[in-house]
Amino acid sequence: MENAFWKLLEERDYPKITVTDIVNMAGVNRNSFYYHYCKLNNLAETAVQHAVEGVRRAIPEFTDDPSKAWNGVVMQLIGVQANRIYLDRIALTVGSHTSPFLLFTVHDAIRDSFIEWQHLDRDMTINQDVLLEFSVGGLLSISAMWSKLAKETTVEQWSNLDAAVVARTLYLAISGNSMPGFWVQMFRSALEKGDGSLLKSIAETESKDKDFKREVDALLEDLQNMQHQHADGFRPSATLMGGINHTA
């Protein structure tokens, strides 16, 4: 019956779907429907919850390396065809056939899943609550664009470092974990890969966060020691060295 629900939601507006439509599409009788659900809204809630849970199960745990963690998320959700069905279904709940009821349902399902995933206290701070709502709203907005994005973007485009930074920053801000430590890890990754795209953000963060600056100073000292010990080893590019001199 859930499959029938999703097929019908592709074809028509949610308010125009009836229990008769569901049982006819599913090939079951009305008694079977009412054995499991009191009304159509109950079926919709269950179907949405299962779609969100499917996404949640597909997402790997974050690792210390933000880039690798984000790549893992992208590969599981977008690179694995069996998991993309969950994204397609969530997209239907915010698409042209949606309703206020479906929007509230998918919003609450994603919010609850995020709280469970991050092991958050439901009695969270106002800052966490605002960031959580921001994240859920952003996910729903992307879901509304999903049919277009799925056709016009690639896994490689979703795996870029900028997306990793956004995802990881929100994750840390909501969970309350160490933001300076995260940025130092990103700095290290940028140096290892010869990627100067983060240096401006790092410099801005350093100017505002004393704890972050202390960690960067320690990292730079370690890098300088490494260069002295391995004269023929790793050498940052001129662009990166310019950025380091700016932040140091």
pLDDT tens digits, one per residue of 196-220: 555 666 667 777 777 777 777 776 6
Same domain (yes/no): 206, 140: no
35: in domain: no
132: in domain: yes
Which pLDDT belongs to residue 132? 83
Same domain (yes/no): 170, 222: no
Q: Which of 151, 177, 203 is the last residue of a domain?
A: 177
Cα separation of the two ends of the chain: 61
Q: How many CA atoms lie within 13 A of 25 on its CB side?
A: 17
Residues of the chain with pLDDT under 50: 178-180, 230-248
The pTM assigned to this predicted structure is 0.66
Task: State the Cα–Cα distance between residues 124 and 109, nearest whole angstrom.
Answer: 17
Which pLDDT belongs to residue 238? 39
Same domain (yes/no): 173, 185: no
Which pLDDT belongs to residue 210? 79
Q: Which of 177, 192, 210 is the last residue of a domain?
A: 177
The position carrying tokens 């991050």 is 118
Same domain (yes/no): 166, 59: yes
Name the domain count of the chain.
2
Same domain (yes/no): 78, 151: yes
Same domain (yes/no): 133, 93: yes
Contact 189, 66 (CB under 8 A): yes
Which pLDDT belongs to residue 243? 43
18: in domain: no
Range of the domain at 138: 44-177
Which pLDDT belongs to residue 181? 52
Same domain (yes/no): 117, 64: yes
Same domain (yes/no): 86, 145: yes
Contact 52, 114 (CB under 8 A): no
Closest CA to 203 of 160, 163, 242: 242
Same domain (yes/no): 120, 201: no
Burial class (CB within 10 angstroms; exposed 0-12, middle 13-18, buried 19+) of 170: middle
Which pLDDT belongs to residue 174? 60
Per-residue pLDDT tens over the stretch 87-98? 999 999 999 999
1: in domain: no
Tokens of 98: 């949606």
Task: State the Cα–Cα distance between residues 198 and 216, nearest whole angstrom.
Answer: 13
Same domain (yes/no): 171, 205: no
The position carrying tokens 């995020």 is 114
Same domain (yes/no): 57, 128: yes
201: in domain: yes
Same domain (yes/no): 60, 110: yes
